[in-house]
Amino acid sequence: MALKRNVGLKGFSYRGGGPMLAWMLHRISGLAMVVFISLHVLAGFFMQQFGSDFWTSVNIVYESIYFQVFIYFVVFYHVLNGFRVIILDTWPKLLEYQREVTWLQWLIFIPIYGLTVFIMVQRALSGL
């Protein structure tokens, strides 16, 4: 009996549902953090060594509130989703409650992220 295998791009097709979206967002957020940290280190190095105007402008982008709101979303989501994955891997019997655990993740994420954004916007408007 031959085994059926996903050959070609069929294995990359979207299968739907919350777990697939959580998986995709987790990978995208991890990649965004790697890119941010790499550029941040390069900007610091080149600013210190050469005083480059390009890397100074990159740091100005990092300091904008829009970019910070994005980075906080990426980091908070990645951390909480990582905890969800660790919990489900540690206790496999909870996999049947994966949907509920995902909702719990969002119920924890939304107030934490919302409060963080509120404080950031409040400080930006007050000039701190």
CATH number of 95's domain: 1.20.1300
pLDDT tens profile 25-66: 999 999 999 999 999 998 888 888 888 788 888 888 988 999
Classified as helix, coil or strand, 58 is helix
Q: Which residue has the higher pLDDT, 17 or 4?
A: 17
Q: Could you tell me what percent of the chain has a pLDDT over 90?
A: 51
Residue 113 lies in a domain: yes
- Answering whether pTM is above 0.75, one says yes
Q: Which residues contact 33 (CB under 8 A, 6 or more apart)?
A: 74, 75, 78
Residue 28 lies in a domain: yes
Residue 75 lies in a domain: yes
pLDDT number for residue 3? 56
Sign for the pseudo-dihedral over CA of 16, 20, 21, 22: positive
Residue 13 lies in a domain: no
- How many DSSP H helices and E strands does the chain contain? 4, 0
Distance CA 88, CA 46 (A): 42
pLDDT number for residue 6? 55
30 is in which domain, residue-wise? 19-126
Distance CA 113, CA 122 (A): 14
**Number of domains comprising the chain:** 1
pLDDT number for residue 44? 86
Residue 14 lies in a domain: no
Residue 5 lies in a domain: no
